[in-house]
Structure 1
Amino acid sequence: MMEIKSEIISRQAIKPSIPTPPELKTFKLSLLDQISPSFHGNMTFFYPASNVTTIVSVADDFSEKSKRLQESISKTLSLFYPLAGRLQDSATIDCNDDGAFFVESKVNIQLSKFLTQPDFNLIMDHFMTTSELSTGAMFIVRFTSFTCGGVAMSLSTNHKLTDLAALVTLLRSWTSVSRGLSDDPVTITPDFMGEKFLAPRDELSATSASLNISSEKFVLNRFVFSASKIEELKAQVEQEFQKQMQSYPSRVEVVLALLWKCAVVTKKQKTGLFTPSVLFQAVNLRKRMSPPLPDTAMGNFIWPFMVVAWEEKDLELKEMVIRMRKSFNEFNNTKANTFRGAGAPLAMMGALKERAEFLKNNRNIDVFKCSSWCKFPLYDTDFGWGKPIWHVSVNKMSSNTIALADTPSRDGIEALLTLDDEEMALFEQNEELLKYAIINPSIYA
C-alpha cells in the first residue's frame, strides 16, 4: 500500500446565489424517495494537470479552479434548491438554504502514481468527506490537489433526492454553469416532481427504509473487461440467446452473469456447499413508464428486478443471461408502469411486501445487488479544465454488491465488486474469471 498524506486546507458552506422563495421552503419527496434509505452516494473524478510547471503555479491553478467550482455550486444550488436544504424527515426537505459543504485539501503524491494502481481505502480516507462532518448537508464536495497539478473532485449527495440519473442531471447542469454556459438556452434544468409524481404516505413519514450497513469485514476490488474479452463472452451465449429471445445479449448482461456465477462458485469453495443465490438488479424507471418521465426527473426512479439461481445447473452462463433478460422483460411488461398513477401506492407497497416475503421464506439464500452506470455520460464531466481521466464510486457500506461502469475508452466495462475478505481472496483466483478480466490494472493501461 502506497504512503500518502493529506491536508485539509479549508471547509465552508456554500449557499445558493439566489435565496429560495418562501413558497418553496418545504419540499415533499415522492413515495419512491420516502421508502429509499437516507445515505450519501459518492462519485470521485480525477483530472490530469493543466499546463503548470512550478509549485507556485500549481497552487495558483488549484486556487483558481476551486474558486470556479465554489461559484458554480452557488449558482447551481439556485436551480437545485432542495440540495441546499436539510432533510427534515423521511419525506420532507427543509429548503433553508444552509447550503452545500465544500472542502479543499491536498495530497503529497502525483496523480499518475496514484492511478497506476488505485487504492480504494485511500480514496475513502483522502479524497472523500463523510456526511457526519458536514452538518447534515445534502450536497458535499471535496476538491483535492496533487503535487503535479492534477486534481480530484469528489461529490457526495443524499440518495433521498438523487439516484444515478439524477446525479447526471446535476453534473450536466453544474458543469455547464462552471464552463460559463449558464446563459445557454440548452442549460439543463431539473424536474422536481416529488409529491406531484407520487405523494408520500403519512403513516411512513417518521422512518426511511433501513440500510443494512454490513458489520462483516468486506473488501472492494476492481475487475476490468476489455471490448475484445466482452465479445468472447458474448460469443459463448449468443446462439442460444438469439434462438430463445430473438435478440442479442448486452455487454452488461454477459459481464454481470460471469461475475455473479464466479461469486456463487466462490461461496461454495468457502463453505463446501452450494447455496441458492438471488441477484437484484436496479432498473431506471424513467423511460419504462407510460408516458415516460423526463431524464431530468430528480429523485429515486429505480426499482430492482430479481433473478434466482436455485441449483448449480442454473449457473451455466447462457442460461443465466437468458434468465436475466426474461426477468428484465417481465418486469418491464408487468411491473414498471404500475408504479405510476392512482394504483401506484398499492402496487409499490405490494412489491415491497412480495420482496420481503421472498427473503423471509428463503433466509439462507445469498443476496447480491447490482447497478449499472454504463452509457451514462460520466466521462463528459468537464468543469472547464477538460474531461476526467477516470471516475469511481466507492462502496463502504455492504458486501455482495456489483457496480458496472464504462472504462475510460467507453468500449469496455469495469466492475467494482464487494465480497467478504476470505471470499475475495478466492474470487481473485477464479480461472474462468481470469480468462476475461484483469484485476485492478493501471488507469493508463
Structure 2
Amino acid sequence: MTNMVVKIISKECIKPSSPTPQHLKIHKLSLLDQLIPSIYLPGILYYPIHPNTTPSVNFGDTCQRSEQLKLSLSETLTSFYPLAGRFRDNLSIDCNDEGVSYTEAEVESTCLFQFLNHPDVSLLSQFLPSGAGFSESEGPGAPLAMIQVTNFACGGYVVGVLVSHMVFDGTALRTFFKAWAARSRNTPASDICMPTFDAPSLFPQSDAFPQEATMMTFWRRFLRMGKCVTRRFVFDAAAIASLKDKAAANTTSSSSAQNPTRVEVVTALIWKCIMVALAFHNHEITDGGQKQQRPTMITHAVNLRQRAVPPFSENCMGNFMFQAAATVCSRKAEELELGSLVILIREAIKKLDGNIVESLQGDEGVTKLCELSKEMGYTFSSAASNGNLDYIGFTSWCNFGLYDVDFGWGKPIWMSSVGTHNAPESVFTNAVVLTDTRSRDGVEAWIYLGEQEMATLEQDENFLAFAATDHSPLEPGNHASDP
C-alpha cells in the first residue's frame, strides 16, 4: 500500500477545560528527567472498523467522534496540566495552558484494514504530527505533546501521539492514553486513573548534574552515519516457547536463567544475531595475528517504579527509568548460548534494586546518579580498551496494556512504533523496541540497524527460525479474536 496518502485537514491547540491553578504554573523537571535526551516519544494506536459492518453502525459520524475526542482530551489535560504547557528552559515547564497541538487528517483511497494487511513501516510516520518520530524537541517554547487523529474513509481511525521524553516515559504515556480514553467513554471520574507529579520532590533536580553524564552524551559515542533501516519482526507464542526451552536447556537447574520471560529470550536472541551481523561487516581486532570479534554492549531501559521499596505508583508522571548495561567481550557470537545471555541481562537489571532507587532520592541523589553514570562509562571504556565497541539499545513496551485503550468505539487492533525516514544518510544508533502482539503472548521487535547489517540479519537462518517477517497484525496469532 505504498500509494497511501495522508491529507492534513486541520490543526489547532486543545487547551485544558479548567485553568491550571497558580501554584502549579511552574513544573520543575526531576533529576531523572535531566538524564533523558530532549526527543519526542511516539505511540500509534490503530482502530479499524470490521470489514462487514457499516461505518455508521460501529463508529457513528466522524465529526461527532472528533468532537468527543477533543472534548475528552481537554478534560484530561486538566489533570495532565504540564502537557498543555511549554518548555521554559531545560529544567522547567511553564504550565501556561497554551494547549496540546492537535492535527486531524484523512486517508480517502485506502481502507485501514487494507493497510494493516501488509503495513509498510516506512509510511507509519505519516500518522504522527509533522511526520516525526523519535525526533529532537525544539527547546524553549516548544510544545510538550502533539497529537494526530487520522480518519480513513472506511470508518477506521489512527491515533498518533508525540510527547516529550523529558517529561514522560513509556509508562507515563500509557497512563495518559488510558485516562484520555476513559474520559472519552464517559467513565465516572472516580474510576479514572489520576496522575501524580511527585517526581521532582522524590528526585530533586540539580544544577550540579553534569551534561556529560546524560544519556544523550552516552549515546553520542555510538552514533553512526549512513542509511538506517527499520524492520518489524514478530515472535509468536510458539517461537517464544521454543526460545525459552532453548535458553533453559543450556543452563543448570540452579542457574538464574531458569524460567526466562519472553522479553528476556527475545532480547537475548536479537542481541546474539545482531552481534553476528555486526561482526560480519565491522573490521575485527587483530591480536597476535588472531582475529577477534569486537565487544558489544547493550542497554535495556528499566522501570524503577516497580523496583522501589515500597513500589511507586504506576501513575507517577515523569521519567522513572534507568539503563541497565551488559557487555560481551572477545567471543564469537555464534558460540554464545542463549541462556548465558539471559543471565547477563538479568544480572544487569538486578543491580537496579530498591537500594539504588532509594539512593537516588533526596538532595544526595545527584551524587549517586553521577556515580552510576561513571560506572556505565567505565564499563564502556574497559570493554573498548582499543576504542572499538558495538552498541545496541533495547526498550520494552511489553505489558503496557495499550491494547486496552478504548475511546468508546472498541479496542485497538494494533499498536506500533515508527519507521525511519528513507534518507540515504542519517545519524542513528543501533536500537530495538519491543512491543506486545495483540494476543499478548507474543513480541514484536522493531529493529533499527544500518542497511548492510540489516540485510545480513534478514538472511540469518538462526534468527528466522523464530522471527516472522511480513507478518500482518490481522493474521491469526497476533490478536486475541477475529476482528
Task: State if a TM-score over 0.5 links the two structures.
Answer: yes
Query: How big is the shift at 1:171?
Result: 1.2
Query: How big is the shift at 1:241?
Result: 5.5
Query: How big is the shift at 1:304?
Result: 0.9
Match in the other structure for 2:24: 24
1:47 lines up with 2:47 in the alignment: yes
Compared CA separation, residues 150 and 265, structure 1 to 2 (3 A) = same
Compared CA separation, residues 52 and 96, structure 1 to 2 (3 A) = farther
Which secondary structure does the structure 1 equivalent of 2:154 belong to? Answer: coil
1:249 lines up with 2:260 in the alignment: yes
1:14-69: CA deviation from partner (whole Å, max 9, x where unpaired): 10000111111111111111221111101111101278647x99997222211111
The aligned runs of 1:361-376 (5 Å cut-off) are 361=382, 362=384, 363-376=387-400
Instruction: Check the 8 A contact 1:6/1:105 in 2, yes or no.
Output: yes
Query: How big is the shift at 1:332?
Result: 2.4
Instruction: Check the 8 A contact 1:90/1:205 in 2, yes or no.
Output: no
Distance in 2 of aligned mates of 1:104 and 1:310: 50
Percent sequence identity is: 35
1:230 lines up with 2:257 in the alignment: no
Distance in 2 of aligned mates of 1:102 and 1:333: 39
Alignment counterpart, residue 203 of structure 2, candidates 198, 209, 227: 198
Q: Which moved more, 1:200-209 or 1:359-368?
A: 200-209
Instruction: Check the 8 A contact 2:172/2:315 in 1, yes or no.
Output: yes
Q: Which moved more, 1:171-180 or 1:327-336?
A: 327-336
Match in the other structure for 1:403: 433
> Where does the alignment leave 5 or more consecutive residues of structure 1 unmatched?
none
Instruction: Check the 8 A contact 2:103/2:129 in 1, yes or no.
Output: no
Q: Which moved more, 1:324-333 or 1:373-382?
A: 324-333
Compared CA separation, residues 221 and 444, structure 1 to 2 (3 A) = same
Counterpart of 2:352 in structure 1: which amino acid? F
The aligned runs of 1:35-434 (5 Å cut-off) are 35-49=35-49, 53=54, 61-107=61-107, 108-129=109-130, 130=132, 136-181=142-187, 183-203=188-208, 210=216, 212=220, 215-239=225-249, 240=251, 242-245=253-256, 247-271=258-282, 273=284, 274-312=293-331, 315-332=336-353, 335-361=356-382, 362=384, 363-394=387-418, 396=420, 398-434=428-464
Compared CA separation, residues 200 and 241, structure 1 to 2 (3 A) = farther
Which secondary structure does the structure 2 equivalent of 1:297 belong to? Answer: coil
Which secondary structure does the structure 2 equivalent of 1:312 belong to? Answer: coil
Q: TM-score, normalised by structure 1?
A: 0.93
Distance in 2 of aligned mates of 1:241 and 1:139: 48
Query: How big is the shift at 1:127?
Result: 4.3
Instruction: Check the 8 A contact 1:405/1:415 in 2, yes or no.
Output: yes
Which secondary structure does the structure 1 equivalent of 2:226 belong to? Answer: coil
Counterpart of 2:69 in structure 1: which amino acid? L
Instruction: Check the 8 A contact 2:297/2:327 in 1, yes or no.
Output: yes
Distance in 2 of aligned mates of 1:350 and 1:378: 35
Compared CA separation, residues 395 and 332, structure 1 to 2 (3 A) = farther
1:312-337: CA deviation from partner (whole Å, max 9, x where unpaired): 25622121112222222233276344
Q: Which moved more, 1:144-153 or 1:239-248?
A: 239-248
Query: How big is the shift at 1:290?
Result: 2.0
Match in the other structure for 1:441: 471
Instruction: Check the 8 A contact 1:34/1:205 in 2, yes or no.
Output: no
Greater helix content: 1
Compared CA separation, residues 241 and 403, structure 1 to 2 (3 A) = farther
Match in the other structure for 2:480: none
Match in the other structure for 2:479: none
Counterpart of 1:238 in structure 2: which amino acid? A
Instruction: Check the 8 A contact 1:223/1:439 in 2, yes or no.
Output: yes
Q: TM-score, normalised by structure 2?
A: 0.86
Compared CA separation, residues 290 and 305, structure 1 to 2 (3 A) = same
Distance in 2 of aligned mates of 1:269 and 1:244: 31
Match in the other structure for 2:478: none
Distance in 1 of aligned mates of 2:10 and 2:75: 20
Query: How big is the shift at 1:195?
Result: 2.0
Query: How big is the shift at 1:246?
Result: 7.6
Which secondary structure does the structure 1 equivalent of 2:191 belong to? Answer: coil
Instruction: Check the 8 A contact 2:208/2:366 in 1, yes or no.
Output: no
1:67-125: CA deviation from partner (whole Å, max 9, x where unpaired): 11110110001000011001112210000101001100011311112111211221113
Compared CA separation, residues 388 and 58, structure 1 to 2 (3 A) = closer
Instruction: Check the 8 A contact 1:13/1:98 in 2, yes or no.
Output: yes
Counterpart of 2:398 in structure 1: which amino acid? C
Counterpart of 2:392 in structure 1: which amino acid? F
Which secondary structure does the structure 2 equivalent of 1:331 belong to? Answer: coil
Q: What is the root-mean-square deviation of aligned Cα atoms in Å?
A: 2.5
Instruction: Check the 8 A contact 1:221/1:440 in 2, yes or no.
Output: no
Instruction: Check the 8 A contact 1:242/1:248 in 2, yes or no.
Output: no
Distance in 2 of aligned mates of 1:89 and 1:214: 29
Q: Which moved more, 1:229-238 or 1:268-277?
A: 268-277
1:260-311: CA deviation from partner (whole Å, max 9, x where unpaired): 1000001112236322100101110011112321111100000011111102
Q: Which moved more, 1:164-173 or 1:391-400?
A: 391-400
